[in-house]
Structure 1
Amino acid sequence: MLNILNEMQKAFNGDAWHGNHSMQVLNNVLAENAFEHFIPGAHSIAEIALHLTSWTEEVTSRLMGAPSGEPIKGDWPIPEVKSAQAWERIIFDFKVANEELIRQCTEFSDSQWDSETLNEITPISGSAITKVELLNGLIQHHAYHAGQIALLSKFNNA
């Protein structure tokens, strides 16, 4: 299943078909803009980045055999500190989480990708989610939120 790993790598920091990969989008954000709420009621870029990291860690945990659940850090963690150093740490943690996910996935044999994850059922079909489906979902999640971040980044440049 090198193809799914290749797609994950592209979404994280490769040549993504949809545009800039997640790391590039995050690295293009100025620290002074990362914590701004440009749209009332919407998440800040930092909150989205923390959300992405949280779910990357949760997907890694599920792929390694843990039952499904909410991420340890929560679905939408709130930044504890709002500084340039805190923004750098948020980006670093996202990078580490994705590198760890990819590292863990390289250990899977082709046959393991079709195995089911624990306690996870697709809402439409009611069938269990395989490891490849779970990772594909994270790839889509990265692309979706990278687009959000890219749009929010334009608010200060307008």
Structure 2
Amino acid sequence: MRVEVDRITSLLTAIYDGEAWHGPSTQEILTGITPEMAVFRPSPTVHNIAELAVHLTNWRIFVLEKLTDSVSFDIILNSEADWSVINELTDDKWQEILDNLQETQEELVETLGRISSHKLNDQVPGRRYNYYTLLHGMLHHEAYHSGQMAHLKKMLV
């Protein structure tokens, strides 16, 4: 039975590049962002759009690793793997960031297509929560940080 996994996949698709109920999808927000816009920082303590996109990608990789039962893969909070510092970008580097985010989206949809809803009750290796919590957390994480990117974009447009 895959009903719940299919629901999660639908939500992931809507949040990333579909019709998200909360507002523009991540892809809608990122459309039209130039490298100069992506590194805009309204204050020294605020993450810019590029950093937020890399952060989303890194945590999507974490989810992918855990979905394949990796015990050893981890991200230490507030480390370089969690938050990269990006102060300047070339066109090519910005495109690479966008491509990496897109690739993790495709990998997540593909990986979710291979798991059953029964796995959602299993504990995530190395964590105190199950896959249901991990996947819903990823959805909330995406919506939260996409909202931050939307606010930064509004400051620029």
- Is the aligned partner of 1:104 residue 2:108? no
After TM superposition, the runs of 4+ consecutive aligned structure 1 residues lying more than 4 A away are none
- TM-score relative to the length of structure 2: 0.87
1:10 and 1:95 map into 2 onto residues whose CA distance is 14
- Segments of 5+ residues of structure 1 without an aligned counterpart are 122-128
CA distance in 2, matches of 1:75, 1:17: 27
**Alignment partner of 1:90 is 2:94:** no
Amino acid at match of 2:135: L
Matched, 1:48 2:55: no
Three-state SS of the structure 2 residue aligned to 1:82 is coil
Equivalent AA in structure 2 for residue 103 of structure 1: E
- Given candidates 123, 126, 137, the residue that maps to 1:119 is 126
Question: 1:110: how far off?
Answer: 2.1
Alignment of 1:1-158 (within 5 A): 1=4, 2-67=6-71, 69-70=74-75, 74-79=81-86, 82-121=89-128, 129-157=129-157
Quote the sequence identity (%).
Answer: 27
Taking structure 1 as the reference length, what is the TM-score of the superposition? 0.87
Distance 1:132 1:153 in 2: 32
Count of aligned pairs between the two proteins: 150
CA root-mean-square deviation: 1.9
